[in-house]
């Protein structure tokens, strides 16, 4: 015979908790699994088969109408690159501007490649970019150690399967040496600044102390870049939203405060991240930081059900959920 008290309890709380959650809880409270299953079956009403079929057909028809009358917008891209000048001297840095345009707002990837006259790749750089209609960026191109000649720089911009590209040609010239004889002007005092990391010179009567940088000293100096000294200037690693979430979960027990701060760095889903930290650690402090009241109440309710700590019921703002929490507490005390 079906236990009517269990049937009444399941009917009362099945709108707030899943059937599996209620089943697990009742078995933990000492009820016979067979009695619990019979009570659950008694609360499930059989629905006519035709209604789900009609619902599925309606959904399929709706999707068809949406795709027929509102086809997805094709992504359109364009890119234009312009150098500050097309003739540069050896060892100079060439700056160029790139205008990225699109009819959508999605993250894309761009890369530019420098080719010599033999079409050999010399320099390549790749990065991510989110464009809102049109975005302009300026790039430095370090030409150190490149011989005189003509070069071709190509830039590619891609979002999903769409791609746009542009290029420009420039020439590196040999610096002309001014052969005018300049009378040497001596400095009145020694130019030694007692700093071993500087090069001390007397130039036309003035002391010039220039910092000496060495590639390979584990320090990315001001005149070094990823291109000129990759062993010192490491490219910045792109940290994804998933990386932040994994980091938060890994430190949830050892450093809860830092874990919560890591969740708050997420652009979306920060409240869900905090709720997951609560589930993995049974620490209600993570629920306190959640901004969305619905997610926060759910976090408190789940915590109380898992840990039997019903003091947390007082923090639930939703009247129905708070009442349900106290009712579960009464049921727990009675068994």
102 and 77 Cβ atoms separated by less than 8 Å: yes
pLDDT computed for residue 218 by the predictor: 77
Specify the higher pLDDT residue, 25 or 139.
139
In the chain, % of residues over pLDDT 90 = 41
Query: What is each CA distance from 229 to 90, 145, 246, in whole angstroms?
Result: 18, 12, 32
**Mean pLDDT of the region 29-42:** 85
Q: Residue 84's closest CA among 139, 136, 126?
A: 139
How open is the CA angle 225-228-230, to the nearest 5 degrees?
A: 75
Contact 98, 125 (CB under 8 A): no
How many Å apart are CA 137 and CA 231, to the nearest integer? 26
Instruction: Tell me what the mean pLDDT of segment 188-201 comes to.
Output: 79
pLDDT at 64 (0 to 100): 67
Between 19 and 166, residue with greater pLDDT = 166
Positive or negative, the CA dihedral 116, 120, 122, 123 is: positive
What pLDDT band is residue 98 in, cutting at 50, 70 and 90? very high
The CATH architecture one would assign to domain 77-173 is Sandwich (2.60)
Angle between helices 270-281 and 241-250 (to 10 degrees): 30
Identify the bridge partners of residue 163 per DSSP, sorted by sequence position: 158
What is the rounded distance in angstroms from the CA atom of residue 249 to the CA atom of residue 260?
A: 9
For the cut 70, the answer to whether the pLDDT of residue 20 exceeds it is yes
Confirm if 173 and 149 have CB atoms less than 8 A apart: no
The rounded distance, in Å, linking the Cα atoms of 248 and 273 is 8
Whether the pLDDT of residue 177 is over 50: the answer is: no
pLDDT at site 80: 94
Percent above pLDDT 70 for the chain: 89
| 304 neighbors 328 (Cβ within 8 angstroms) | yes
pLDDT band at 282 (very low <50, low <70, confident <90, very high): very high
- Residue 50 has a pLDDT of 67
Q: How confident is the model at residue 58 (pLDDT cuts 50, 70, 90)?
A: confident
């Amino acid at each position: 015979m079906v236990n009517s008290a269990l049937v009444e309890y399941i009917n009362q709380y099945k709108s707030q908790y899943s059937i599996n959650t209620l089943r697990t809880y009742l078995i933990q409270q000492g009820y016979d699994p067979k009695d619990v299953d019979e009570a659950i079956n008694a609360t499930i009403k059989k629905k006519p088969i035709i209604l789900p079929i009609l619902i599925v057909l309606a959904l399929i028809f709706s999707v068809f109408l949406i795709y027929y009358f509102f086809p997805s917008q094709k992504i359109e891209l364009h890119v234009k690159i312009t150098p500050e000048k097309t003739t540069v001297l050896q060892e100079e840095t060439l700056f160029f501007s790139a205008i990225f345009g699109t009819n959508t707002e999605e993250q894309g990837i761009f890369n530019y490649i420098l080719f010599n006259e033999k079409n050999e790749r010399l320099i390549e750089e790749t990065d991510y970019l989110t464009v809102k209609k049109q975005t302009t960026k300026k790039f430095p191109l370090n030409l150190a150690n490149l011989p005189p000649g003509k070069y071709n720089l190509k830039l590619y911009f891609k979002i999903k399967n769409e791609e746009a590209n542009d290029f420009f040609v420039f020439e590196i010239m040999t610096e002309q040496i001014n052969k005018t004889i300049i009378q040497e002007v001596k400095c009145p005092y020694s130019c030694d600044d007692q700093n071993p990391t500087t090069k001390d010179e007397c130039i036309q009567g003035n002391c010039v102390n220039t910092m000496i940088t060495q590639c390979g000293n584990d320090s990315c100096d001001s005149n070094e870049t990823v291109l000129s000294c990759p062993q010192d200037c490491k490219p910045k690693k792109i940290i994804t939203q998933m990386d932040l979430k994994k980091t938060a979960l890994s430190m949830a027990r050892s450093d809860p405060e830092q874990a919560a701060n890591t969740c708050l760095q997420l652009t979306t889903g920060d409240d869900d991240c905090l709720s997951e930290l609560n589930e993995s650690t049974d620490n209600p402090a993570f629920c306190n930081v959640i901004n969305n009241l619905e997610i926060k109440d759910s976090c408190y309710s789940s915590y109380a059900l898992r840990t039997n700590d019903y003091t947390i019921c007082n923090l639930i703002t939703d009247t129905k959920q708070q009442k349900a929490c106290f009712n579960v507490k009464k049921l727990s005390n009675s068994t």
